[in-house]
Amino acid sequence: MTDFTYDTILSTMTREGVRTIALNRPQALNAMNRRLIDEVAAAFDDANRDPGTRAIVFTGEGRAFCAGDDRHEHVHPETEEQARDLVDAIQRATQAIVFGAKPVVGAINGWAVGGGFEWAINCDFPIWGESAKGFFPEVSLNLFVTGAVTSLLPAIVGPVKAREMLFLGERYAARDLAELGVAWKVVPDAELRAEAEATAERLAALPPLSVRAMKRVLNQVSASALETAIELETEATVAGFLDPETTRLLKAF
């Protein structure tokens, strides 16, 4: 068994070849600061390189999966260079999750907000606890989504519903997300981690060559759309960070 050490991530490995990557800032509802963003990308890169890892469970410690941006710790970017560096880091995490070789099972607990909701959508098999909820507040804050969700979400729910979710920032319960196809399964909260681990073990038991090929081919079919979405999202988010109105709205939020 191989383990990696991080400050904001718990990364553990089972003998069945399942690596669990858990966001570990429970006191902040696993909200995203720069350290967490960088370590999510590093943890997935490590897992995808590790020959012993055959499937990944992605979850959050405590009462939430990820409550979005940590408003208390993030230093608001003051220059285009700072803004682009931050947004590129966020997009690197998505690329590590989506384009990595190993299948990812999400165990989505509590709140999945903004970037946290994006990470939940990035999972190959997103399993949600029945009390979990998700929403996108970005447009109301004069910001923009990342995580390639401008491509992924319309493909899942259709363009009209995606507009509702992205423009209006409605809050969705896990059962609603299952009906929309955003959640693969919804299970009782107490069973969430066990269900995710059992699913990951099923994936880990499959021939690794065909599993990796399936994920690669499925992603390559839409790779150009995803890469284009990431590029356009980055430009829109950088512009949002640099608008003074964003600072006012973030403080109010």
The token pair at 25 is 């800032």
- pLDDT at position 224 is 84
CA 105 to chain centre: 11
**Closest C-alpha among 199, 203, 169, 206 to residue 184:** 199
- What's 204's domain CATH number? 3.90.226.10
Residue 205 per-residue DSSP state:
T
The token pair at 221 is 């079919």
Do the beta carbons of residue 36 and residue 8 sit within 8 Å?
yes
- pLDDT at position 75 is 58
Positive or negative: CA dihedral 43, 45, 46, 47: positive
Residues in the chain predicted with pLDDT less than 70, given as ranges, are 1-3, 73-75, 253
Q: Please measure the distance between the N-terminal and C-terminal CA atoms of the chain and give it in whole angstroms.
A: 43
Do the beta carbons of residue 164 and residue 157 sit within 8 Å?
no
Which of 39, 138, 197, 233 is labelled catalytic? Answer: 138
Q: Is 138 a catalytic residue?
A: yes
**Closest C-alpha among 56, 195, 66 to residue 118:** 66
Do the beta carbons of residue 15 and residue 70 sit within 8 Å?
no
Do the beta carbons of residue 145 and residue 233 sit within 8 Å?
yes
Number of domains in the chain: 1
CA dihedral 146, 186, 29, 85 (to 10 degrees): -20
- pLDDT at position 116 is 98
How far apart are alpha carbons 144 and 234 in whole angstroms?
8
Positive or negative: CA dihedral 219, 221, 224, 229: negative
Residues 6+ apart with CB under 8 A from 198: none
The domain of 209 spans: 4-252
Which of 118, 164, 179, 197 is labelled catalytic? Answer: 118
- pLDDT at position 26 is 97
Q: Is 61 a catalytic residue?
A: no
Cα–Cα separations (whole angstroms), residue 80 to 36, 179, 220, 237: 22, 40, 31, 11
- pLDDT at position 3 is 64
pTM for this structure?
0.94
